[in-house]
A and B are shown apart, each in its own frame.
Chain A
Amino acid sequence: MNTNSPHEHDPAFRAMLREWSVTEPLPPRFQAQVWKRIESAEALPVTRGSPWRLLMDWVNALLPRPAFALACATVLLLVGGAAGWAQARYEAAQVGDVLEARYLRVVDPYQPAD
């Protein structure tokens, strides 16, 4: 294992480390307190930073949850499908108008040029 200590290869220092032992007892409910602090730190709401950062934090907190990811995917697919359908309808109507005008110009010499 790598360490950052410059005394890593000092025999005296290593011997001293081997002899060293902790005699001080841990405070009462030390382990429970540690876990409590970890949980409270994880539960802290993100309220600092730029709107972009807040959005990213929100996305990163929620999207990995399967239910939310599924809901988002459904909404995105529906939005994509609806947009494609609307665009196709719009262009189809335009093509219809163009061909209608073209037919009228073919059969009627008095139709306007465009």
Chain B
Amino acid sequence: MCWKPDTCAWWIRINQQTKAMQRGITILGIGLAGALLTYACVYYVGTMSHRELLRDKTPELAWLKREFKLGDAEFGEVARQHAAYMPQCQVMCRRIDEQDKRLRQLLITSASVTPEIEAAIEEAARLRAECHGKMLRHFFEMSRAMPPEQGRRFLVWITERTLLRSERGMGPMGHDGHP
């Protein structure tokens, strides 16, 4: 029978086991904490540049600068052209919205294709062509402000995602070119 912990055999055994366990757990804990710290450091360093991008006033342009490896002077010219294009783009957006609204209204009130609907569709197509023309002119100007190789890459990238993207689903093969 144990009367005091200092002389009690089973208490001493449990105490020793606990100490040994604490040592192993402590070492494991330190290792895991180190792993967590390494994770946090690498993650912090790895996302630093993108966090800087997001803090920029115009992050999409900052992204463009990085993506197409623009120098400060080239980026200055690109940003200037972008700023000059934006008012035109906003005017086009308003006209497209108004035309869409008009066409929607005609479609709601008509049971068949009327001459007004045909005219509205033609006007929407004309607007689209006008918008695409302006966009393309802007893209060419942008590409000329870039280093030649990057300018070519920019043109391929932007036309694939704007002009060519919108035309893709309209071929004779059906949506996305699939029969």
Contact = CB atoms under 8 A, between A and B. Distances in A.
Contacts of B60: 99-100, 102-103, 106
A75 to B, nearest CB: 9
B84 interface: no
A64 B23 contact: yes
A84 B38 contact: yes
A104 B42 contact: no
B39 A83 contact: yes
B92 interface: yes
Interface in B143-164: 158, 161-162
21 contacts: A59-B25, A60-B24, A63-B28, A64-B20, A73-B30, A73-B34, A77-B35, A80-B34, A80-B38, A80-B42, A84-B38, A88-B43, A92-B46, A99-B53, A103-B64, A106-B89, A108-B162, A109-B92, A110-B128, A110-B131, A111-B162
Given A88-B45, A96-B67, 14 more contacts: A3-B7, A4-B3, A56-B25, A60-B25, A76-B31, A76-B34, A83-B39, A84-B46, A85-B42, A88-B47, A95-B53, A99-B59, A108-B135, A110-B166
